[in-house]
């Protein structure tokens, strides 16, 4: 009985561990097949390369994703780490398989303007929708195994040799190369009118992908941290707590120019309360303050 419970617990833990990886693959496949491919733009990265090859050859992008990710798997396996390589590749393999299977499902929904369609509202909405789905898939991957796969693997491998380079910067550079290449792919054979639609839609998709990933990774509980230097700590703190309903922390400080004792108040407030706090500070002319965004907040503030 105990062994059965143990096996059941292990199976459940493995399922919950693998589920996000599978979900990431499904969401990515839906974004590419329904919104990206029908609207002829390449949203950067390995997905963008596969979509362009699909457009140029007529062969399903799933096959190209498969062919590109197999060598990337071995590269990541031997140079980055077994766990990350296996998990990210499993997600990509599922995406590849689903893209191929979708072609055999009659009447599978797609949302696009057609091969020669102009960049209408439909194309713009498709870019936004694809950005949301691809951003969600990216966030799930990053939360689950710490890597996004694809060009992220290439960037990590390059960083191993050149430590001073940033992985995020190199990933963005790879995405930019793909987007620029899409201009020539989708304008192939154009004699009179050059279309900027592929680049514009790709940029919209990349922007929405980034924002969606940030929201999922960091949550909606964003706040702003105010640090206020004042000689009226009691009065300022009392007003802040009364008007914003957030706590204030007092830190004793010394001005190094004048060598006078001051008080520094530290508080976290929501974005909509910034104007209210600024009004409070303006009542005290000798008060100095600055604020910065705090992307993640835990504890009672988040509630």
Query: For residue range 185-198, what is the model confidence (pLDDT) as tens digits?
Result: 888 765 555 678 88
**Arithmetic mean of pLDDT, 190-209:** 80
Question: Which pLDDT does position 129 carry in this prediction?
Answer: 92
Residue in the block written with tokens 């909606």: 220
261-269 and 249-254: which strand pairing?
A: antiparallel
Residue ranges per structural domain of the chain: 2-218, 223-302
What CATH number was assigned to the domain covering residues 223-302? 3.30.70.120
**pTM: predicted TM-score of the whole model, two decimal places:** 0.71
Each residue of 238-270: pLDDT tens digit?
998 888 888 898 888 887 887 788 889 999 888
Greater confidence, 77 or 210?
A: 210
Decide if 98 contacts 79 (C-beta within 8 A).
Answer: no
DSSP string, the chain: -HHHHHHHHHHHHHHHHHHHHHHHHHHHHHIIIIIIGGGT---SHHHHHHHHHHHHH-S-HHHHHHHHHHHHHHHHHHHT-HHHHHHHHHHHHHHHHHHHHHTTSTT-------TT----HHHHHHHHHHHHHHHHHHHHHHHHHS---THHHHHHHHHHH-TTS-HHHHHHHHHHHHHHHHHHHHTTT-SS----HHHHHHHHHHHHHHHHHHHHHH-S--EEEEEEEES-HHHHHHHHHHHH----EEEEEE-TTT--EEEEEEEEE-GGGHHHHHHHHHT-TT-EEEEEEES---SGGG-
**Arithmetic mean of pLDDT, 272-299:** 81
């Amino acid at each position: 009985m105990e062994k059965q419970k143990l096996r059941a617990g292990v199976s459940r833990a493995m399922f919950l561990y693998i589920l996000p990886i599978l979900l990431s693959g499904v969401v990515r496949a839906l974004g590419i097949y329904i919104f990206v491919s029908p609207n002829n733009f390449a949203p950067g990265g390995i997905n963008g390369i596969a979509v362009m090859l699909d457009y140029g050859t007529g062969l399903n992008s799933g096959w190209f994703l498969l062919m590109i990710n197999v060598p990337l798997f071995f590269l990541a396996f031997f140079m980055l780490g077994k766990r990350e390589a296996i998990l990210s590749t499993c997600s990509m393999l599922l995406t590849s398989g689903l893209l191929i299977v979708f072609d055999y499902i009659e009447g599978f929904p797609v949302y696009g303007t057609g091969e020669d369609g102009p960049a209408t509202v439909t194309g713009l909405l498709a870019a936004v929708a694809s950005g949301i789905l691809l951003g969600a898939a990216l966030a799930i991957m990053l939360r689950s195994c710490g890597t996004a796969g694809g060009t992220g693997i290439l960037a990590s491998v390059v960083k191993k040799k050149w430590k001073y380079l940033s992985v995020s910067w190199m990933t963005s550079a790879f995405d930019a190369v793909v987007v620029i290449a899409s201009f020539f792919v989708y304008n192939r054979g154009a004699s009179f009118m050059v279309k900027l639609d592929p680049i514009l839609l790709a940029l919209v998709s990349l922007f929405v992908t980034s924002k969606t990933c940030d929201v999922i990774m960091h949550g909606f509980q964003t706040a702003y941290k105010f640090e206020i230097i004042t000689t009226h700590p009691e009065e300022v703190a009392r007003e802040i707590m009364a008007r914003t309903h957030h706590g204030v922390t007092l830190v004793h400080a010394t001005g190094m120019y004048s060598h006078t004792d001051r008080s520094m108040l530290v508080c976290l407030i929501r974005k909509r309360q910034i104007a209210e706090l600024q009004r409070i500070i303006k009542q005290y002319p000798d008060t100095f303050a600055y604020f910065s965004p705090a992307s993640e907040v835990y504890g009672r503030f988040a509630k």
